[in-house]
Amino acid sequence: MCNAEVVLRLENINKVFDVGTPRANQVLYDVNEQLMAGELAAMMGPSGSGKSTLLNLMGLLDTPSSGELHIKGQATATLDDRGRTALRAQYIGFVFQFHHLIGAFNVLDNVLMPIMLRQGKPTASQLDYARYLLARVGLEHLQQRSAKALSGGQQQRVAIARALVSRPALLLADEPTGNLDSQTADEVFQLFEQFNAETGSATLIVTHDPRLSARCERVINLLDGRVVAA
C-alpha cells in the first residue's frame, strides 16, 4: 500500500464543546492520522475516549475547533455547510450506531436514498448493485417491505447496504455489528472486507469487539481524546 492515495488526513485536530463557557470540555487533543485507499482499519477505546466525536469529524458531520481535515486532498476547514454536504455525498459512506432509516419508504428505496438524493432516479446498474447488497446482508426477500416493519437487526443491515451503495472512497462505521448476533456480525464484517478489497475504499470501523479489530490491518487506539500506541 506504499503508493496508495491518502483518502483522509487529519492534522492537529482539536475539539472543544461549549467553548467560552464554564462548561467548556475538550474532547480531542492534537489528533494526527491518515487513512489510505484500500486500508481497512479499526478504532478502539473506552467509552468517553472521543471515538464518536472523531468519527463525526471524519464524516464532515461536525467541524473541529482547530486543525485541518483533508478528504481526497481537499481541505475542509473553510467549507460551509453546503460544501461539506456536497463533499460528504461524493466521497463518504457512513454506518451510524443507530440506523436512521425512513419508515415511510421500503427497504430498497432506503438503500438507494444516497443515490436518489444526489441524482434522482438510479440507473439500472445502481439498482442491480443495491439488490446485490441486500442479498449480501440476507434481506433480498424483504426489499419491498416497509423499513418500519423490520427488526432492529434487519434495519441495521439495511443501513449498511445504504452506506455501501454509492461505492464511497471513505467508509466510516460506528459499531456496525453491535446490534447483530455473532453469525450475522461475522457475515456483515465479511461484506466490509469484500467491499474494501473490491473498491479500494479507505474503511474505518469503530468497534469494541477484539475479534473484529484483529481482522483489520491497523488499529487506532483512542484514550482520553488522544491517539495512543497499540
Query: Does position 164 have pLDDT exceeding 70, yes or no?
Result: yes
**Which one of 1.20.1070.10, 3.30.420.40, 3.40.50.300, 3.40.50.720 gives the CATH number of domain 6-228?**
3.40.50.300
Express as a percent the part of the chain with pLDDT over 70. 97
Cell readout for 216 is: 483489520
pTM of the model: 0.88
Model confidence over 190-204: pLDDT tens digits? Answer: 888 988 998 899 999
Chain-centroid distance of CA 96 in Å reads 7
Q: Where are the domains of the chain?
A: 6-228
Query: Does position 119 have pLDDT exceeding 90, yes or no?
Result: no
What's the chain's average pLDDT? Answer: 89
Model confidence over 60-118: pLDDT tens digits? Answer: 999 999 999 999 999 998 899 999 988 988 899 988 776 778 888 999 999 999 898 88
CB 71 within 8 A of CB 7: yes
Average pLDDT of the segment spanning 32-47? 94
